[in-house]
Amino acid sequence: MLFGAFNVNNMEIIQAIVDAANEENSPVILQASSSAIKYARIGYLRKMIEAALEEYDIPIALHLDHGPDFETCKMCIDNGFSSVMIDGSKYSFEENIDLTKKVVEYAHSRGVVVEAELGKLAGIEDDVNVSDSDAMYTNPDEAKEFVNRTGCDSLAIAIGTSHGAYKFKGEAKLRFDILEKVKEKLPNTPIVLHGASTVIPELVEICNKYGGNIPGAKGVPDEMLHEASLRGVSKINVDTDLRLAMTAAIRKVFAEEPEAFDPRKYMTPARELIKQTVKHKIKDVFGSSNKA
Ligand code: PGH
Ligand code: CA
Ligand code: ZN
């Protein structure tokens, strides 16, 4: 089973995602990074997700994305998150293990599950900026040792994706051979793919047509995401495509209706375009729809 995990920053994004998931009768993971929590504030995020849970019957999880330290993970666990990610990928193997273990102990004793990360993605992720040459693929033997020693519930691996709108300079290329080896060694550990936005060309085009400047953006094609799911990826993280959808819709209104200044005038189409984007992913790419 493959789940989409969608990054949230504000009310419209949350509503768009849960509306889409509800229409597709699909479980969904909403995830907030530490910078999203700083932006939206944790109490607001929590209450908005409570509101979504009251409105719909589908399973909705709230997950911390790229938790940078124990304290942030603890704060989210104490605030009712269903799961947390501790991202110790910037540390040495042993330091990553120590930190992840500490989070796992705290989380598991409170019924919360933990995603950890091994290997480095290129690109920008929150405050961390990993240059291309530093990008390090996950070592399958290390992955097995890491999961055994930390007791983490799922593992994010690096097989060539990166965060943001510029994932590949030439052809899109993922190291499915590494994924296969990791699955061989860890058949029961759910594997997470970060940096998995398609960077939907139509959305980039709308942004650029209406005054944006995002040239040469490139993501992971839908067929590759499909292949990743066939080869055992369980969670696919999507942020960039939602940002593009929101920006595309708002730019269009600003360009076509310069006299408009009621935020609802541009936030309504923004919410709608995010919803269509999420529906497309759930239905056509991830296949988590249970629609009758
Ligand atoms: C992601 C999102 N969040 O943790 O990995 O990646 O930039 O490809 O949407 P994208
Ligand atoms: Ca990382
Ligand atoms: Zn990520």
Q: Distance between the two ends of the chain, CA-based, in angstroms?
A: 18
Considering only CA atoms, which of 71, 158, 63 is closest in space to residue 115? 63
d(CA 84, CA 258) in angstroms, rounded, equals: 42
65 is catalytic: yes
Residue in the structure block whose two tokens are 């990553």: 96
Q: For the segment 35-59, what is each residue's pLDDT rounded down to a tens digit?
A: 999 999 999 999 999 999 999 999 9
4 dihedral zone (left: phi>0; alpha: psi -120 to 50; beta): beta
Nearest 5°: phi and psi at 285? -110, -50
Ligand 1 pocket, residue 252 CB under 6 Å: no
CB-based contacts of 255: which residues, under 8 Å, 6+ apart? 210, 211
d(CA 72, CA 76) in angstroms, rounded, equals: 6
Ligand 1 pocket, residue 196 CB under 6 Å: yes
- pTM comes to 0.95
Ligand nearest to the CA of 195: 1
Low-confidence ranges of the chain (pLDDT < 70): 122-135
Considering only CA atoms, which of 32, 13, 9 is closest in space to residue 273? 13
Ligand 1 pocket, residue 193 CB under 6 Å: no
H-state helical runs in the chain: 11-23, 34-40, 42-55, 70-78, 93-108, 140-150, 176-185, 201-209, 222-230, 240-256, 263-280
The 3-state DSSP class for residue 153 equals coil
Q: Give nearest CA residue, ligand 1 atom 8.
A: 195
d(CA 79, CA 118) in angstroms, rounded, equals: 26
Structure tokens of 266? 């541009």
From ligand 2's centre to the CA of 119, what distance in Å? 7
Ligand 1 pocket, residue 123 CB under 6 Å: no
On whether the 3-286 domain is CATH 3.20.20.70, my answer is yes
Q: Which residues line ion ligand 2, judged by CB < 5 Å?
A: 87, 89, 117
Tell me which of 65, 87, 239, 241 is the catalytic residue. 65
pLDDT confidence of residue 134: 56
pLDDT confidence of residue 133: 52
Considering only CA atoms, which of 200, 119, 190 is closest in space to residue 160? 119
Q: For the segment 108-166, what is each residue's pLDDT rounded down to a tens digit?
A: 999 999 999 999 886 655 455 565 555 689 999 999 999 999 999 999 999 999 999 99
Ligand 1 pocket, residue 194 CB under 6 Å: yes
High-pLDDT (> 70) share of the chain, %:
95
| Residue type (1 letter), 268 | T
From ligand 2's centre to the CA of 48, what distance in Å? 27
Please report, for residues 1, 139, 232, the alpha-carbon distance to residue 183 in angstroms, rounded to integers and kept in the order given.
15, 12, 7
